[in-house]
Amino acid sequence: VTFLYYTALHAVVSTLVLYAARQFHLGPQRLGELMAALGLSTMISEAVLVRLAIPLLGETSCMRIGLISFALQCVLLAVADSQWHLFACAFLAMAGNLVYPSISSLVSSTVRPEMVGRALGAVNGVKSLTEGVGPLVFGTLLTMSEKDKFPGWPYFLAAIMVAFAYQACRALPDDCENYTSDFYIQTTPTRNGQHKVVVTSMLEEESCSLLDGSEEADNDDR
Per-residue pLDDT of the chain (222 residues; tens, 9 = 90+): 888 888 898 888 888 888 888 888 888 888 899 899 988 988 988 888 888 888 888 888 899 999 999 999 999 988 888 888 888 888 888 888 888 888 888 888 777 887 888 888 888 888 888 888 888 888 888 888 877 788 888 899 999 999 999 998 888 776 544 444 443 344 445 555 544 444 343 333 433 344 444 444 444 445
pTM value is 0.71
Determine contact, residues 135/10, Cβ cutoff 8 Å: yes
pLDDT at 126: 87
Determine contact, residues 162/70, Cβ cutoff 8 Å: yes
Q: Quick one: which of 165, 8, 172 has its CA closest to 78? A: 8
What is the rounded CA–CA span in Å between residue 169 and residue 121? Answer: 20
How far is residue 180 CA from its own chain's centroid? 19
Measure Cα distances from 49 to 37, 41, 99, 138 in Å: 16, 10, 12, 29
pLDDT at 174: 67
Sign, CA torsion 58/68/111/212: positive
